[in-house]
Amino acid sequence: MYYNDETLIFYNGQFVKAKDASTSVYGQTLHYGNGVFEGIRSYKTSEGTKIFKAKEHYERLKFGAEVMDIEFKYSVEELTELTYELLERNNLADAYIRPIVVTGENMGVFSAKGSELIIQCWEWGKLMGDKLLKVKTSRFQRPNPKSCFVEAKVTGHYINSILASNEVKKAGYDEALLLDMNNNVAECSGANVFMEKEGVLYTPPRGHIMAGITRATVIELCQEEGIPVEEKHFTIDELKQADSAFFTGTAAEVVGLQSIDEYQFPQAWEQSHGSKLMKVYKEEVLGLRKHCLTN
């Protein structure tokens, strides 16, 4: 699904075939989840292949390495260049890109010396598809921000997302919604959440959530489009009085919600701000907007 015999990845400072790459069974990332990664997309645009928000993604990767005390020497510029080269070598334009920084061999619970950068890419459709999602509130909360760096994309943090997804998928739902430790709505297992109420969009503020790059892009697009948007905490009961809701994320892009638990969102999706933003976001990543945002 992710690679074939010809697929190249960047690993250990060079481009190698994915099928020939291997990593240590004593690695700290494997044992304890001490690694950092990114999820990035590139798009085929009229001006060639464009990696969307490469700078923001690679800055977040470097931030993660820094707070986790993982040695990591690549600059944002080097990472971006390597990624363009990898796409070209794999003959890919519309791609999902997965850089990961894995730590060295160490069975102790302090950061290992050294790290390796792996960059992989493959063709991947919208993670959650295009149809409206049936969402369930998970019994798992997002982690207490005092227990980890919630804004760092650390491999080990994703156990929380896996627990929530497993729970709701087994119950027949498409995706999980997680609350924070204060019982406010936080986010989906791999995307941020917005709700629309009486023409205004609300999204939880930073603090207990991943500071999504798509979320930030959507907020800027709202400002350009004159759509009122506020960063504000809201509860699950408030979400269940909303007119409509949607998720945002690099892999998911913008995708609407049909329901949360037993509550069906009443607004016709096509008339919602979410639907408009879904189209505008697509134009933005494809470089089709007149007033394109930076990058």
Mind telling me the catalytic residues? 153
Per CB under 6 A, the list member of 249, 253, 254, 280 interacting with ligand PMP is 249
Cβ at position 16, least distance to ligand PMP in Å: 26
| Region 183-222 residues binding ligand PMP, contact defined as CB under 6 A | 187, 190-192, 210, 212-215
- Asked if residue 256 binds ligand PMP (CB under 6 A), the reply is no
Cβ at position 50, least distance to ligand PMP in Å: 16
CA 244 centroid distance within chain = 21
Q: How far is CA 215 from CA 172, 190, 192, 205, 264, in A?
A: 27, 12, 6, 11, 23
CB 8 within 8 A of CB 86: yes
Helix (H) or strand (E) segment spanning residue 217: helix 213-225
Pick the closer one to ligand PMP by CB: 35 or 39: 39
Cβ at position 150, least distance to ligand PMP in Å: 9
Pick the closer one to ligand PMP by CB: 185 or 191: 191
Per CB under 6 A, the list member of 27, 35, 39, 64 interacting with ligand PMP is 39
Number of C-beta neighbours around residue 178 at 10 A:
25
Cα Rg, the chain, nearest whole Å: 19
Per CB under 6 A, the list member of 250, 253, 265, 285 interacting with ligand PMP is 250
Pair of tokens at residue 114: 């050294």
Residue type, 196: E
Cβ at position 274, least distance to ligand PMP in Å: 15
CB 167 within 8 A of CB 137: no
For ligand PMP (CB under 6 A), the number of binding residues is 15
Pick the closer one to ligand PMP by CB: 128 or 213: 213
Pick the closer one to ligand PMP by CB: 27 or 64: 64
Residue type, 20: D
Place of tokens 């250990």: 12
* Partners of 15 in the β-ladder: 10
Which residues lie near ligand PMP (CB under 6 A)?
Answer: 39, 153, 161, 187, 190-192, 210, 212-215, 248-250
